[in-house]
Structure 1
Amino acid sequence: MELTIQELAARAGITSRALRHYDRVGLLAPSRVGANGYRYYDVGAVARLQRILLMRRLGMGLPAIAEVLADEVDACDGLRAHIAALEEERDRIERQIRSVRHTLEALEAGAEPQMDVMLAGFNDHYKDEVVSLWGERAYRLANDWWHGKTLDQQRAWKQAAEDLVAAWVAAAKAGISPTSERAQSLAARHVRWLSQIPGTPTADGDRERSIEMVKGLGAMYVEDPRFTGMYDDAAGAAFVRDALQAYARTRM
């Protein structure tokens, strides 16, 4: 079975112009071109288009998609990876649907929605990062812990974090040494703060992994722009890193 370019475009919900563009950039060539110049696409081409559209929906650009397709040895492995990604996205959307339905039903009944349920499915953007660093268990425990808090408790936690950051910034601006007693006291406070989060090595009492985590976080504060600015500037982030790493080496 084959589809013309117009038929394929209509069924895929895209334009024939897009299909021609995919051909020009080497992503998807027609299976054959008829004597009349018409482009035809067989099952293999449609399967490839399906994968291209999936990756586009996941936010990938055409050059990145081309690299994925070029590097693949087995198309079935690629399809399995896409199924896993789609299942994860489905689970996230289902959590969002449940949370919005909970809010709607509570409001219609004149009741107050539960904060932890209202935000389920909307805060998973750090999941992959947390899982890669500390594992699935750490993510699950920390996520459950956070959503088990009331709104006031969440606000109090965030305020404590902001107060800690402000203390770090003030110490860095004071020009003290990262190994000074004031800096090391802040490092101890930072580690105690981390130990309140279930699933982290500090919360589990795992000394070796805790040392590794504290050193790694210190490095991340300098290397990751999301955190560098939080400590005012690169010098402030470097001060926090050096203090945490000195604390991990000598006091943990």
Structure 2
Amino acid sequence: MDEEWSITRLAKASGVTVRTLRHYDAVGLLPADRLGAGGVRHYAAASVLRLQRILLLRDLGLGLSEIAAVVDEEKDAVEALRAHLTGLLAERRRVERLVRTVTATIAHLEGERDMALEDLFDGIDPARQAAHEAELVDRFGDGARQHIAESRRRTAGWDRARADEAVAEYEAVEDAAVELIEAGAAPDDPRAVELMDRQYRAVGAFWTPDRASFTGLGRMYADSPEFRARYDAKHPRLAEFLAAAMAAYAERRLD
């Protein structure tokens, strides 16, 4: 490995934006090893390996504060990578089971094979789903149980294409939010409020939030480590931007 990497080269190789690397430096997660001409950040080989560990942990669903605690305590890079590998292999096995389940379900629906009821749920983690639902109830009270039931009713007849469409709409809103952040827009900017109308309609495909629950949902995006990791992967300010923009939208347009 080369002895030193510029921030531009490191961003290109890792797929992380220059802005994100600057943020990691600012919060002390990945400090630059030196500043070159014009203030350009440069990173030594050890820092490049540290970034790899950061990204591995981020992919496992940890938030930035949790990642910092882990990498700061790691003494042996090889042992740390072995621990990451164990987690990745476990996740790969889970995903492979889900792939087999979905593939078999498609074949069953197309009449190519019969499928036992129990096989429909192979690889699905009910504990993870239950944890998400419990978090919603903790945040929004018993009313969240009605939202969960409503969501299940609305999606009961969805096929794969409809589910993919819903996911794509969330992705599109997030990408548009990143563009607003990069353009320097505030969360209460009219453009952000209009974008959150689209977010509200995306959520509305599953359940109908009011002012309090839509605001609370945005706050959960920022506070939940699993959601936070997803948004951090796109932009380090995305989770907080969405939370604030959803609150602004709810205040102006919802009861």
Q: TM-score by structure 1 length?
A: 0.47
Higher relative contact order (CA 8 A, sep 6+): 2
Q: Highest Rg: 1 or 2?
A: 1
Q: TM-score by structure 2 length?
A: 0.46
